[in-house]
A and B are shown apart, each in its own frame.
Chain A
Amino acid sequence: MKSNTLNRKNPLLSIHSFLMMAFIYIPVIVIIVYSFNDSRLSMSWEGFTFDWYLSLLDNRNVMEALKNSLIIALTSTIVSTVLGTMAAIAMRKLMSKSKGAIAGLLYMPIVVPDIIMGLSLLVLFSQLGLDLGKTTVIIAHITFSISYVYVIVSSRMANMGNQLEEAASDLGATQWETFRYVVLPSIWPGVIAGALIAFTLSIDDFLISFFVAGPNSSTLPIYIYSSVKRGISPEINALCTIMILVSVALIILAQWLLNRGNREEKKTSMLPF
């Protein structure tokens, strides 16, 4: 129940909120609309076309960047999902004085500004004598994705009691069996959601990749950045539209997975923590 004092509607407040939502979405809509505009340079509407999407397919740089982005995102997602999930499972059980310090370490990649993370990894890789390329980008992406997977899987486990595990071991299940048949099935949606988020973060990352990518490992965001620096083009609008749709679809899927099964919790848990 809401109190009356809060609930009285102020028309100015409604107008402001409407304008704010418009402010948030109009630029995104502009990109999407103009990716279908049949004019290379003008912003006036010259008719609907699908050509810019088709010409992306013929653009070797775009296809190369897409290939790099997918390799990097898939590899870093698999590694970070395994590591992040292991961390979440172990942290739930750990009783130790060093627990706080480990938690701090696990949150560090979320807290440290991207630019600092990017340049410090650049310093590390160059001192190790590693050539910048896909491997260095993958290492960087694993490093930040671990934290997000950890946070998401942990939040999923926060709603989980110990009763089922205790019952399983009372009934004679070994620890492995308890893990395999009791713990894993109940955290599975969280693990998949974490993996989807890791994948999205990797596909979308620009700042960190910009520091640790080599000349032959440009990702899609790096390609977009260098094209935008050269000027606008309708192909970029089309590429941006595809990236917007893919990210939003992945996030909706992750959100849906996280909320499914959380029946006791009536409120939707919103993703950005």
Chain B
Amino acid sequence: MNKRWFGILSPVVLWLCFFMMVPMIAVVGVSFLSRDTVGNLVWTFNISNYTRFFDPLYLGIYWDTIWLSVLTTLLCLLLSYPLAYYITTAGPRTQKWMLIGVTVPFWINFLIRTYAWVLILRTQGLVNMGLEQLGMISEPMQLLYTKGAVLLGMVYTFIPYMVLPIYVSLEQMDKRQLEAASDLGASRWSAFWRVTLPQTKSGIMTGGVLVFVTTTGMFVITDILGGAKSQMLSNIIQNQFLSARDWPFGAALSVIFMISSLIIIWLFNRALRSKYESAKEARA
């Protein structure tokens, strides 16, 4: 019986092995090669692509990237949690419409959503035009091609990624515990801090990982809203592959990117599990 199902699965498995696994392994392989002057791969083993990463220039970009991802994740969390909370407590009709409202942006091309901010932020854009007409500024402000614009674009793009997991965990929470807390005299704030927040930790973690990892790989937003000044790790990777034609170095940076993402996911998971286990022990 199983033989038949393996037979049906084999084209998919072969496809994904060949176009997903093999290429990723090839990237790891390429990261240990070198290149000649025209950019062709040269088959000599070396680790100089990795040692080059420790150049202050690249380390600086790496830290900028991590810092931007951390800021984006925190801002998304602060802005999304109250929204998710509101959606959970709303009546069924409002709830349904608001959920659709935060889901639809997933399906609008993020390139288009980023471009919208160009219309709003550029020197002849909506914000500058509005402020000028109100007489609040005489000269247009430089809003586009700044770090702030990149942060805004990132937070804007990833808010739905944070709202939905938090909403799911709020929805699954055992609400009787809140009644118990209030019966036992807890204030609403203390009930929130001591009952609701710990119970929605898994949603916060899922959203956090999703936002953090995706932000790190998003070169388009820095490219369009940050201009040439703000370079992130993903911009450098993209550049090595498509313009500079230094594939071995680009591959090494990609491996570093994947490893740091895995470490972050692992850390998040560990934090989540340790909390969960200490809660279990406390109950025992």
Interface residues of A, count at CB 8 A: 86
Instruction: Please determine whether A24 and B112 come into contact, CB atoms closer than 8 angstroms.
Output: no
CB distance from B183 to the nearest CB of A (A): 10
CB distance from A26 to the nearest CB of B (A): 8
Instruction: Please determine whether A6 and B89 come into contact, CB atoms closer than 8 angstroms.
Output: yes
Question: Which of A89, A114, A224, A270 makes the CB contact (< 8 A) with B115?
Answer: A224
Which of A25, A30, A229 is packed against the most chain B CB atoms within 10 Å? A30
Is B188 in contact with chain A by the CB < 8 A criterion?
yes
Question: Which of B16, B156, B250, B251 makes the CB contact (< 8 A) with A105?
Answer: B16
Residues on the A chain within 8 Å of B5, using CB: 90-91, 93-94
Residues on the A chain within 8 Å of B250, using CB: 119
Instruction: Please determine whether B217 and A240 come into contact, CB atoms closer than 8 angstroms.
Output: no
Instruction: Please determine whether A9 and B111 come into contact, CB atoms closer than 8 angstroms.
Output: no
Instruction: Please determine whether A272 and B9 come into contact, CB atoms closer than 8 angstroms.
Output: no
Instruction: Please determine whether A119 and B254 come into contact, CB atoms closer than 8 angstroms.
Output: yes
Residues of chain B in range 17-33 having any CB-CB distance to chain A below 8 Å: 17, 19-24, 26-27, 30
CB distance from A113 to the nearest CB of B (A): 4
Residues on the B chain within 8 Å of A109, using CB: 16, 20
Instruction: Please determine whether A270 and B99 come into contact, CB atoms closer than 8 angstroms.
Output: yes
Residues on the A chain within 8 Å of B101, using CB: 21, 24-25
Is A206 in contact with chain B by the CB < 8 A criterion?
yes
Residues on the A chain within 8 Å of B251, using CB: 119, 123
Instruction: Please determine whether B104 and A248 come into contact, CB atoms closer than 8 angstroms.
Output: yes
Interface of B is mostly: helix
Is A34 in contact with chain B by the CB < 8 A criterion?
yes
Interface string of B257-271 (1 = CB under 8 A from A): 110010000000000
Residues on the A chain within 8 Å of B110, using CB: 206
Residues on the A chain within 8 Å of B6, using CB: 90, 94, 96
Which of A27, A121, A225, A248 is packed against the most chain B CB atoms within 10 Å? A27
A94 (CB) vs chain B CBs: closest residue: B5
Question: Which of B99, B119, B217, B224 makes the CB contact (< 8 A) with A268?
Answer: B99
B164 (CB) vs chain A CBs: closest residue: A272
Instruction: List chain B positions with a Cβ less than 8 A from chain A.
Output: 1-2, 5-6, 8-9, 11-13, 15-17, 19-24, 26-27, 30, 79-80, 82-83, 85-89, 96, 98-113, 115-120, 122, 124-126, 129, 156, 159-160, 164, 175-176, 178-179, 181-182, 188, 191, 213-214, 216-220, 223-224, 234, 237-238, 241-242, 247, 250-251, 254, 257-258, 261
A-B contact pairs, 23 of them (CB 8 A): A3-B176, A5-B175, A5-B179, A16-B83, A17-B83, A23-B156, A24-B160, A27-B119, A27-B120, A91-B5, A93-B5, A112-B20, A112-B24, A113-B217, A115-B218, A119-B251, A119-B254, A121-B23, A228-B118, A229-B224, A243-B109, A268-B99, A270-B100
4 tightest A-B contacts by CB?
A: A27-B116, A120-B23, A113-B217, A124-B23
